[in-house]
Amino acid sequence: MMAYLFCHFTGEQKNGEQVYFSVSKDGLTFTDLNQGHPVLKSDLGEKGVRDPFLVKGKDTYYLIATDLRIEKGLGWAKAQTNGSRQMVIWSSTDLVYWTNPWTATIAPEDAGNLWAPEAIYDAEKETFFVYFAANVNGKHKIYSVSTKDFQTFTEPVLFIEKTMDVIDTTIVFSQGYYYRFTKNEENSRIFLDRSQQLTGDYQEVTSEYLAQLEGVEGPQLYQLPDGKWALIVDHFKKGTGYGIAVSDDLATGVFEPVSAFDFGQSIKRHGGLITITDDEYQRLLTYYQQKNPVLDGLYADPDLVSFNGKFYLYPTSDGFTDWSGTSFSVFESEDLTQWTNKGTILDLASSQVKWAIGGAWAPCTAEKEGTFYFYFTGKMADGRSGIGVAYADHPTGPFIADEKPLLSPDLIDDYGLNMSQVIDPSVYVEAGKYYLLFGNSAGGTAAIVALGDDMRTVKLDTLAEYQGLEDFREAITVLKKDDFYHFTWSGEDTRSEDYHVNYGTSSSLYGPIHYHYPVLQKNVEKGILGTGHHSILEHSDRYYIAYHSFAVPLSKYPEEARGFHRQVRISPLDFDEAGYMKQVIV
């Protein structure tokens, strides 16, 4: 099975000159990814890109693009004579995680610009043939360079020169010939020629269809599942975006227009289209078409776990002024997507929990020898918070709560802990031993303590504070991978749109912790704000991070109330080649 990835820009509006992705299974119907927002943005050169193009080498994808942003008021005349001579480049091994962009100045020294770069990969030589338009001495021509890594390049040489200006060349190989589709800049039409050698002599291929097309640019060719060639061109003068025509044989120059196609919600401007595997297609949907929020209603502080082949979410019930909710619910799923509310499992305002009256926050759950232990934050009559425990024979209860808190707020003074509140427990298990991490403080730190064998007591002689938690506020968690302990914790205030998750590592469960960077942050463009208080689940060699963000639409709630009107989200979590967490795509 194969699919298609179309990278493109959308126009001269704000953020229109950046890189957008759309995907298709049939090459005719496309779905915009990332909710129609840019997937990649350039902050180099002109701080905008047009004409993005994808090419795959041996094991790496490269995305190259024109360094140009008309939206800032550059003007087309200046863009041709005094524009950028560099292209912007990204690379990726999986089409999801991309490097930071870099630039390469490859146009001739006397060129006024560099437009619409594309490339072909020579597998035998492991070399890319890169070609692009450049205005030299007042005339647009097509030049080429070669590279193995998009870092170093050969000197530019002339590839196409006609009596008229030419730009926007694209090349495909079919039945022993290289076919070039190029825009005649003077009449905005596309002409076709071919050669048996990439840099050989090209002969024109007559095409009545191309001859009657006008006001078009940005041609792209790809094969449909039935083997036919699809030609798409950007009808830029009409402002209608791309249209499609198909051909059985490029040598004939015969194309038949297609009427039944759909390029998605946004108008597509000059881009590049490649075939991808079904796995790559599914991966793009997983990361850039996330089905969030996952729960109906207002919930926060999710604890995501897996028991007996099913997934469970234990969140804070949200939507109560100043976090004044009193009950906990549990949700069950078989696929991490469809969730069923299995009901209330604990109500702190009832006789179920004798030591607490409310403030039901931030639970976590663990299983030991067939019994399920539910650790939760509760507020006592004096207004201080502690951590309690309840237990059950099934993940959905019924749970029985102990009469006294497992961790009392007196712990802070009794042991001189540098924290403000005893809240936000998380469980860590290693070699049959169970630990509880907890704490909240602006400027302080978190702590760890071993649980007793009964899971309902703690071994206070193991209590210790963490060192190295930069920008710590609350919600510390830990997992072990590749002999290192990976710590994550929330920074900022949950009422702030800048609430986020930080990341650090240690060679010891007890630290000290080496801080790395924020691993989960807001996405302003998509309206995903206040991302934090998370849990991490490993399942089938994959990792998932559950977290909350401000409820959407944001306009539904007053700004001062967003911190207790939140929704639960789940996103994939990955590690890089060095073994560190990658920043989460939200």
The residues assigned a catalytic role are 301, 474
174 closest CA partner among 65, 248, 81: 248
In single-letter form, the type of residue at position 478 comes to V
Q: What one-letter code names the amino acid at 259?
A: S
By CB atoms closer than 10 A (0-12, 13-18, 19+), residue 369 is exposed
- What whole-number distance in Å separates Cα of residue 527 and Cα of residue 521? 12
What Å distances lie between residue 225 and 34, 446, 565, CA to CA? 25, 56, 47
How far does CA 347 lie from the centroid of its chain? 37
How many other C-beta atoms can be found within 10 angstroms of the C-beta atom of residue 453? Answer: 12
Q: How far apart are CA 68 and CA 86, in angstroms?
A: 10
Q: Answer yes or no: are the C-beta atoms of 162 and 135 closer than 8 Å.
A: no
Kindly give, in sequence order, each residue whose CB lies less than 8 Å from that of residue 265, ignoring residues fewer than 6 positions away: 32, 36
DSSP at 563: G
Pick the closest to residue 128 from 66, 62, 175, 189 (CA basis). 62
The DSSP-derived string for 15-43 is TTSSBEEEEESSSSBEEESGGGS-SB---
DSSP-derived secondary structure for 86-134: EEEEEEESSSSS-PPPEEEE-S-TTBS--EEEEEEEETTTTEEEEEEEE
CB atoms within 10 A of CB 506: 18
Tell me, what amino acid is at 339? Answer: W
CA dist 304 and 503 (Å) reads: 18
Could you give the maximum distance between any two Cα atoms of the chain, in Å? Answer: 90
- Provide the H-helix boundaries in 198-258: 208-212
Residue with tokens 């994959």: 542
Q: What backbone phi and psi angles, to 5 degrees, belong to 32?
A: -70, 135
Q: Which helix (H) or strand (E) holds 423?
A: none
123: amino acid identity, one letter:
A
Answer whether 234's CB lies under 8 Å from 241's CB. yes
What is the C-alpha separation between 102 and 109, in angstroms, rounded? 19
3-state secondary structure of 321: helix
How far, in Å, CA of 192 to CA of 508, rounded?
A: 64
